[in-house]
Amino acid sequence: MDTVKDLMATATTATGLSVFTTVLGQVYETGKKATDELKASIRIVFDDVLPKWNYTALANPPQIGSTI
Query: Each residue of 3-53: pLDDT tens digit?
Result: 888 888 888 888 988 888 888 888 888 999 989 998 888 999 999 999 988
d(CA 16, CA 58): 28
Residue 59: pLDDT band (50, 70, 90) is confident
* Helix, strand, coil abundance in the chain, percent, nearest 5: 20, 20, 60
pTM of the model: 0.42
Q: What is the pLDDT of residue 6?
A: 86
Task: Please determine, for residue 63, whether its predicted confidence score (pLDDT) is greater than 80.
Answer: no
Q: What is the pLDDT of residue 65?
A: 64
d(CA 42, CA 58): 5
- DSSP readout, 41-55? HEEEEE-SS-TTT-E
CB 60 within 8 A of CB 43: yes
CB 19 within 8 A of CB 6: no
